[in-house]
Amino acid sequence: MIQLIRGFKDILPGEVELWQKIEQEARSLFENFGFREIRIPIMEKTELFKRSIGEDTDIVEKEMYTFADRGGDMVTLRPEATASIVRAYIQHKLYAPDPVQRLFMIGPMFRRERPQKGRYRQFYQIDAEIFGVASPLADAQLIFMLVTLLGRLQAKNVEAHVNSLGCPACRPGFRDALQGMLAHVSDKLCEDCRRRRDRNPLRVLDCKVPGCREALTGAPSIIDYLCGDCRRDFDELQAALTALGVSYIVDKRLVRGLDYYTRATFEIQTGELGAQSAVAGGGRYDRLVKELGGPDLPATGFAIGFDRLAEIVGLQAGDYQPRPDVFIAALGSRSRPLAFEWCCRLGREGVRVEMEFGEKSLKSLMKSADRLKADHVLMIGDQELEKQAAVLRNMQTKEQTAVPFDRVVDTLKTASRRPS
């Protein structure tokens, strides 16, 4: 038997209802905040990710699914969404009518990591981006939206972490200080970090290796190096969050795994998933649009790990599983054509209906109705054909009524009306 690829997974009925519920909540909330959906390809030119995410990142160094297609072009299964959304924003000149665009997408991402709880090779993200707004209020809006979504989904044990990564004016000072400090602990760092120490020292702060984390306890804080503008923006972000009643932690270690971030950066962390503590992450990337060949416009955004979110929400998939309004129990071959006709017409009329097409005993049909948790069972056999009336059983009250054949569809439409 051929099994699925390691690190990939199926989302089966029974679990998928929870995913649908999460997706619905995200969509409706984002739309309330003026976001519009964008759908981007699953594969892009490798160059796009190399240039945007950065060569020294875990993603580009060791996680991307990159291969030459049959024409020899280097392509990559998308490991994240921002690069593609920025590409689309530039390519289709979405900035031309109005540089301010709020976009979201939901879909799979691919990274070849070591599979474990909360870490897969195909995983899903819910991604939101705001283009064209330099104000830290955009960052505050994103964090507020995230926290609101998590609240609605009753996510357990979550905490918002925020930091500022500064800008090209203030980051060099911090970089020097960090490099100086790293020189002293060099022997405690992993091989990757020793290499990154010179080329991209901020990456070291993001390393997951316990030895590196320990070596960095005395690392300088970027917040002490922020320039006036970055300081003012970071204060404004925090003031906005406080005014909105969002509790957060200033986390000077938070740098995030991608190179393109500037100023505000944030993460939602949970204590529920062991080492995989980040449920969502994001921040500002004011230089990326220009670096990828677009106009000099600021942007900020986040990505939620859908799989991790699904594991920590307080909702039960069972609460969202569809149950049939009616199960049609047709006894004997004579009644089946009419029962089948009702089945099709009821479905068309918006009634959730199921029936079995083969020959079954009443006992086995009632068992099926119970297993499906049908609200009603509609019974038709030889006797009912005689009387031209079916029997409708309310499975909760056990009450049975005779329904004339020509009233079946209308009666069930009324009986199954769901509150909209």
The nearer residue to ligand ATP, 119 or 203, going by C-beta atoms, is 119
* Residue among 324, 379, 330 at smallest CA distance from 357: 330
Minimum CB distance to ligand ATP, residue 267 (Å): 7
The nearer residue to ligand ATP, 104 or 123, going by C-beta atoms, is 123
Contact (CB, 8 A) for 154 and 314: yes
Q: Which residues of 323-361 are buried (b: 16+ CB within 10 A; e: fewer)?
A: ebbbbbbbbeeebbebbeebbeebeeeebbbbbbeeeee
Minimum CB distance to ligand ATP, residue 245 (Å): 23
* Residue among 406, 374, 413, 375 at smallest CA distance from 390: 406
The nearer residue to ligand ATP, 141 or 276, going by C-beta atoms, is 276
- How far is Cα 204 from Cα 104, in angstroms, rounded to an integer? 30
Minimum CB distance to ligand ATP, residue 289 (Å): 19
Candidate ranges 93-101, 185-193, 304-312, 391-399; the one touching ligand ATP (CB under 6 A) = 304-312
Binding mask 77-116 for ligand ATP (x = CB under 6 A): ---x------------------------------x-x---
Nearest residue to the partner ligand ATP, using Cβ: 305
Please list the alpha-helical segments (H only) found in 46-127. Answer: 46-53, 58, 82-91
Give Cα 89 to chain centroid, integer Å: 21
278: buried, middle or exposed (CB in 10 Å: 19+, 13-18, 0-12)? buried
Count the neighbouring beta carbons within 10 Å of the beta carbon of residue 412.
26
Minimum CB distance to ligand ATP, residue 77 (Å): 13
Q: Which residues of 196-213 are buried (b: 16+ CB within 10 A; e: fewer)?
A: bbeebbbbbbbbeeeebe
The nearer residue to ligand ATP, 280 or 389, going by C-beta atoms, is 280
Minimum CB distance to ligand ATP, residue 300 (Å): 14
Candidates 76, 82, 125, 265; binder of ligand ATP (CB under 6 A) is 125
The nearer residue to ligand ATP, 276 or 416, going by C-beta atoms, is 276
What distances in angstroms separate CA 279 from CA 149, 268, 304, 319, one per listed residue?
12, 6, 6, 23
120 contributes a contact to ligand ATP by CB under 6 A: yes
Candidates 54, 166, 301, 305; binder of ligand ATP (CB under 6 A) is 305
- How far is Cα 94 from Cα 86, in angstroms, rounded to an integer? 10
Binding mask 307-336 for ligand ATP (x = CB under 6 A): xx----------------------------
Point out which residues bind ligand ATP (CB under 6 A). 80, 111, 113, 118-120, 123, 125, 256-257, 276, 278-281, 303, 305, 307-308
